[in-house]
Chain A
Amino acid sequence: MDFTFTEEQSLMADSLRKAYESDYDFDKRRAFLDDTATFHSPAMWQTLAENGFVGLLAPEEAGGFNGGGAEIMAVTAEMSRHLALEPFLATSVMGVRLLVTAGTNAQKSNILPQVVAGEANLAVALYEPGQRYDVAPQTTTTKLDGDDFVLNGTKAVVVGGDSARWIAIGAKLEDVGSALFLVDAGADGVSKKTYRLVDGRGAADLELSDVRVGANARMAADDAETALAEIEDWAVTASLAETLGAMEMARDLTHEYLQTREQFGRPIGKFQVLQHNMADVFSDVEFARSMVFWAASEVANPDAPTRRHAVSGAKAFVDNAARNIAERCIQMHGGVGVTDEYALTHYVKRLTLGQILFGDRDEHLLRYTNTNA
């Protein structure tokens, strides 16, 4: 039993911290937030690729790091501390993992090296409008036409869909059930509505209208929903680690504020009601950290119900903690705690986003109870 990161994992987090601290402070980040064309810093993304982070989960022969849950926890928590806007979650966690597990040999050898080099981004379309958090394709369909497949349908809130060169799309396929495709985002018939998420990162809604792809676009998954459910659990795990990083920052900002803000002639941290609130925030972060450890240690478990039980259990618990922490930290700050110019609110946005991305608390509580041994 061991709850520490290896030296290598700690060094990765360290070098990330240095990269973000030098090129990406709160004010510089604001410029990236104001950029209406690219929703992140392409220069930082290149830096991440050059340092091997983009290929964190890719096998070594593809230039990757062959990482797993622990690496995701170390790296995404650190990026979240800097409110990173780069499409790491979409490309490096969801996309690369899907390519590794469900990509054909051709897809792996053609696309993975470009991705690892930071030259082509990935996204995985998990959901459809009106289907909440069901990853099984419902309204997106495909038909064989000669040797090609023709896809039609809509995909909702595709994280990283704004910058992805390739997007994984599940579709209903008659007589088979469903199939998964890796579609060129620039293909005829693909239209994207891109937007920022509440924390500033990019996403898109997709409209597929008679999109014709060759048989080589089909991924090597037996069905779409099993493969997508696995990717969703990896996304949840990474999102939980992001939440942990944001929690730590919200906690630290509030802790500092309690010691500097004075009212009634003394620092407000001298008031017991705020001390106890702060103690609860401190405690909530540590219990949440334990649950992120749990998710990270089980996300690669080949037994799907065991994997899901831990990941969904952790999500249901951490979402609760995230909401408590976010709301308490705002309250302890008073008015400044709701202003856009102050970093706290940006961490709160990330904490809040984490509660509704990739399944909300109720969804994961249900999944947890449905996989109960």
Chain B
Amino acid sequence: MELLYDSEQQAFREEVRAFMKEMAPVDIAAKAHTGQRYDKEDMKRWHGILYEQGWVAPKWSKENGGAGLDPIQVHILDEEAFAAGMPRLQAFGLSMVGPVIIHFGDDEQKSRYLPKILSGEEFWCQGFSEPGSGSDLASLKTRADRDGDKYIVNGQKTWTTQAHIADWMFCLVRTDWDVKQQEGISFLLIDMTSPGVEVRPIITMDGEHAVNEVFFDNVEVPAENLVGEENKGWDYAKFLLSNERTGIAGVGQSKAEFARLKAIARKEKRRGVTLSEDPLFKAKLADLELKLRALEITNLRMLIEEKEKGAPGPISSILKVVGSEVQQGIATLTMEAVGSYAAPYLPESLENSWNGEPIGPDYAAHAMPYYFFRRKASIYGGSNEIQRNIISKHLLGL
């Protein structure tokens, strides 16, 4: 039993930290402080810097152009990037469709898609949820009908994050209507510029345009864009989701956000005393910090298991539940810490183009929108109720 990082891991952390100090753009890092939104250019620029360094796809093997880091190193890289105020890289290409293409795609698909995912030249989005298929994903109805050397796709996806800036979508479509739901689904790659694809924005309660509805009206997709075998898409989707479960704990990001919450608590005062010394607020901070610590250690336990056994087990579902609770807890306490200056609604101030005077402290404007933004955390990626279903079914056999 040893909870400390070994000397090799510590040396790697030092290397990453030195890299961040030298290479993390100051203007992007400043946004982390005020909670301004990172835009596509920020993400592309940071992506490019990591690409040059060879760390953009830390988990991918070297032969596929990745860094071939082990799960603990990936975690260290993640922690240090967030601590440096850098945005999360687009997961849809690097963490989701990339590994699926690596495992199930053919050589042509690998050489066509992987290099541009790595370079950041092409952005991806995920076409899973539909208006009638949320937690019950396997009931999806978007159809793809084979017509010679192409599929004709009709239907609708929703909650599609970044569809409006994406070049490609990996999409679950129904290709067989006469079998068990899970056995009639295929995994298609769809060019977002194809005729018949229409993207409509959904504005969420935090004022942000991140998610969309995507409509398909007789969209022609070349048959070569099918990944793996027809009607095996559900297996690939499950692989994709399980692959992502440990990352979903969000430990690195929550540690960085918790540090910013503490900094706000050292500035805001109640009855002349900073919130960081106020007994009631201090207790809430301590409880949340301990939950984050428990999450961090549990995440490390799972990462070691992943390192030794190759894949995280269903036990990683518990990380998603508590990880999202921690994220939401930080957003809630941040809003409480800011106090009445969390009330003014200034969504434009969170965008890049804005250069007005802030109302209240510079960290105030994002507090309320961020609280609203975080409501999503317990809903997406398999809602927390679905995670509890996974635990009771796959771990407890109930």
Contacts and interface: CB of A to CB of B under 8 A. Distances in A.
A214 to B, nearest CB: 42
Interface of B: 1-6, 9, 72, 282-283, 285-287, 289-291, 293-295, 297-298, 300-301, 304, 315, 318, 321-322, 385, 387-389, 391-393, 395-398
B388 A290 contact: no
Most buried by A among B2, B5, B395, B396: B396
Nearest to A255: B396
B3 to A, nearest CB: 4
B3 A1 contact: yes
Interface of A: 1-6, 9, 69-70, 73, 255, 258-259, 269-270, 272, 274-276, 278-280, 282-283, 286-288, 290-291, 293-294, 296-298, 313, 316-317, 365, 368-369, 372
Nearest to A321: B294
Nearest to B397: A259
Contacts of A278: 392, 396, 398
Contact of B1 (A3, A282, A287, A368): A3
A283 B391 contact: yes
Contact of A317 (B9, B294, B318): B294
A99 B297 CA distance: 33
A283 B315 CA distance: 9
A141 B2 CA distance: 42
Most buried by B among A69, A278, A290: A290
B304 A1 contact: yes
A275 B297 contact: no
Tell me the dominant secondary structure on chain B's binding face.
helix
Contacts of B301: 3, 290
Nearest to A362: B283
A317 B290 contact: yes
Given A276-B388, A278-B396, A283-B321, A365 B293 contact: no
A283 B1 contact: no
25 contacts: A2-B1, A4-B1, A5-B1, A275-B393, A279-B318, A279-B389, A282-B391, A286-B315, A288-B294, A290-B294, A291-B293, A291-B294, A294-B3, A294-B297, A297-B3, A313-B289, A313-B290, A313-B293, A316-B286, A316-B290, A317-B291, A317-B294, A365-B287, A368-B286, A368-B290
A1 B5 contact: yes
B398 A275 contact: yes
Contacts of B304: 1-3
A16 B389 CA distance: 36
Nearest to B307: A1
A290 B2 contact: no
B327 to A, nearest CB: 16
A287 B318 contact: yes
Contacts of B392: 269, 275-276, 278-279
A346 B42 CA distance: 58
Contacts of B387: 279
B283 A275 contact: no
Given A1-B4, A3-B301, A291-B297, 12 more contacts: A1-B5, A1-B9, A2-B1, A3-B3, A275-B393, A276-B388, A276-B392, A280-B388, A283-B321, A297-B2, A316-B287, A369-B282
B291 to A, nearest CB: 7
Nearest to A290: B297
Contact of A275 (B3, B294, B315, B389): B389
Contacts of B289: 313
